[in-house]
Structure 1
Amino acid sequence: MKMKLSNIYITHKSETCFSKSGNPLSVYRSFSEAQESADYQYSQSGISLTAYKCNACGKYHLKPTEFYCEKLSSVCSCTDHNGKKKDAYPTAQDAEKMVNIRKSAGITLFVYKCPQGNGYHLTSSVR
């Protein structure tokens, strides 16, 4: 967690959550603490970050806004081909944003409406 001490931040790094490059993520105890850190970092670097609650650890982390997509907080029972629960997006636009993020990494995905009415999912299969 980061605690503001006259614009000085003390950061706590996660022992369970890591970035795609393998670095531990900064941990915040509340959304407001994370958002304050995001605002501070924006004022220092111009990089826009979004605070989000982690499903894995229940704490808050920051993610570049351009890579953030709103997901439903409720768990959907739909699974992928490996049996892992699928992420559900509240709107088709949120799902499309993730499609575009993944496309920049060379991964082609498609959006479809959840058959159980829990928003939208992504698939690699053409529907």
Structure 2
Amino acid sequence: MSRKSRSCRGKATGRPLTEYDTIKDAEDGASYIRQKFGHAMVPYLCPQCSLWHLAPPSTERSSEPFQKFTRESRNCYGKVSGKVLKEYESEREAVEAAKYVSEKYGNQMLSYKCKDCRKWHLSPADRQTEHSSWSCLCLDQNGSPKDCYQSQKDAELRAEILFEETRRKLNVYRCPKIRTIWHLTKKDPKDYVGRKSLKCCNKQGNFRMEYDCGEDAMLHAIEITKRYGKEVFPFECSECLKWHVG
């Protein structure tokens, strides 16, 4: 599908450029022009409108479809290759780049937003897992939002992928705030036993164990469930503002 652009014009002619929504549409347009007029054209993704145009292969902008908006990241490196990652300003640019790589080289790629640099990168499809769209406001030790997974299976799959990349074991646990999503942690459930509260008691009059964060409380709840076969969950106390298990 093609149409005249409202914002982009040819530098030589000054006429509105033809724009395409996808690289496939642009390649079909280039093929049509080649067959009808005998002119070779190459698609490129416009950095201004984020849509596809055509240009002769001899022009600078058509020599590489992504050279105008693709650049190397200053901070992010591939966990497996160790090489500098390519970064993209918008999701649309990253998605189109993934399509281009998949169609040209046969490598299935997916786009994702990096939580470190806030830019977009590409990753092999077999190393990506589905994240949940829910936000539980849980933070990691660096103060960044934790990744959320829609199921325990997705979280475990992600843990396996990261173990292959870093050889670091991660544990899976249910979010203490929203029990329909899951997180990963470096912590071991066996290491968290909490401390006795000086304010809050249970129904039997015994002081409860308290935890500074929901993650620690959930990890101890997992260990209690495994050890005693009794399922317990963490909750945030409105009186002491700490976390308990019950």
**TM-score strictly above 0.5:** yes
Q: Does structure 1 residue 57 correspond to structure 2 residue 117?
A: yes
Larger Rg: 1 or 2? 2
What RMSD in Å do the two structures reach over aligned CA positions?
2.7
Residues of 1 paired with 2:139 and 2:142: CA distance? Answer: 8
Partner of 2:126: 66
Unmatched runs of 5 consecutive residues or more in structure 1: none
- Higher relative CO (Cα under 8 Å, sequence separation at least 6) belongs to 1
Paired residue secondary structure (1:89)? coil
Is residue 2:158 matched to residue 1:102?
no
Percent identical across equivalent pairs? 34
Q: For 1:24 and 1:55, how far apart are their aligned partners in 2?
A: 16
How far the C-alpha of 1:19 sits from its partner, in A, is 1.6
Where do 1:1-127 residues align within 5 Å? Answer: 4=45, 5-6=61-62, 8=64, 9-10=66-67, 11-20=70-79, 21-72=81-132, 74=135, 76-77=137-138, 79=140, 83-84=141-142, 86-105=146-165, 106-117=167-178, 119-123=181-185, 125=188, 127=222
- Count how many residue pairs are aligned between Structure 1 and Structure 2: 122
C-alpha deviation, 1:6, in angstroms: 4.1
TM-score of the aligned structures, taking structure 1 as reference length: 0.74
Between the aligned partners of 1:70 and 1:38, the Cα distance in structure 2 is 17
| TM-score normalized by the length of structure 2 | 0.42
Match of 2:53 in 1: none
Q: Give the C-alpha shift of residue 84 in structure 1.
A: 4.1
Matches of 1:114 and 1:16 in 2, distance apart? 29
Q: Which moved more, 1:3-12 or 1:18-27?
A: 3-12
